[in-house]
Chains A and B, each alone.
Chain A
Amino acid sequence: DAGVIQSPRHEVTEMGQEVTLRCKPISGHNSLFWYRQTMMRGLELLIYFNNNVPIDDSGMPEDRFSAKMPNASFSTLKIQPSEPRDSAVYFCASSLRAGGETQYFGPGTRLLVL
């Protein structure tokens, strides 16, 4: 049974470049979450979707970040233009339904912006 799938697993890019992170949630899960983890700030929720609809994007740092979920099996997080302070591990997670349900995390994308 496949878990949450993320790609790429590692990304190294130069400042100013566009970065696109991808996520496939667990089949049948209705909620999808994007997190960012750094040593200084820990795990931060960026945005989450219920039934493909963005519900809360208050954690998105600024306009350079955008997220989409065109269908139940795919989501993207885009950073344009990227900056060195965006370097972090980005996790995608999914849960079965709303209401404080257990979330299952993907392996993460390690992003380094030079």
Chain B
Amino acid sequence: RKEVEQDPGPFNVPEGATVAFNCTYSNSASQSFFWYRQDCRKEPKLLMSVYSSGNEDGRFTAQLNRASQYISLLIRDSKLSDSATYLCVVSAYGGATNKLIFGTGTLLAVQP
């Protein structure tokens, strides 16, 4: 089983749609969680951290369910500029290590 699993997509949605991505992780001791965004032929960039209570940043909402080892990202009112690959990222385990494990990503294509 992969340490971080995501649906690779692609998700093809019209502008203005709401889209949700899911991710599961295998290490119950993981303490840090992130969503990164990667545009075509570019480097990954931090989109948002994910907190236990859930957090929102504009049109983006991230949720964490530790019991189910599940992370989600919701994008509301999607824009053409949201088209990218979204990477679910989990720390290897708690403590001093700072290894991050990246999922293979979910491709989002927002259509006009």
Contact = CB atoms under 8 A, between A and B. Distances in A.
Contacts of B103: 42
**Interface size bucket, B side?**
20 to 34
Contact of A31 (B91, B98, B101): B98
A25 interface: no
Nearest to B97: A98
B100 interface: yes
B25 interface: no
A45 B45 contact: no
A101 B46 CA distance: 11
**Interface size bucket, A side?**
20 to 34
Given A43-B102, A99-B96, 11 more contacts: A43-B104, A55-B97, A56-B99, A97-B98, A98-B98, A100-B98, A100-B100, A102-B46, A103-B46, A106-B43, A108-B43
Given A31-B98, A100-B98, A43 B44 contact: yes
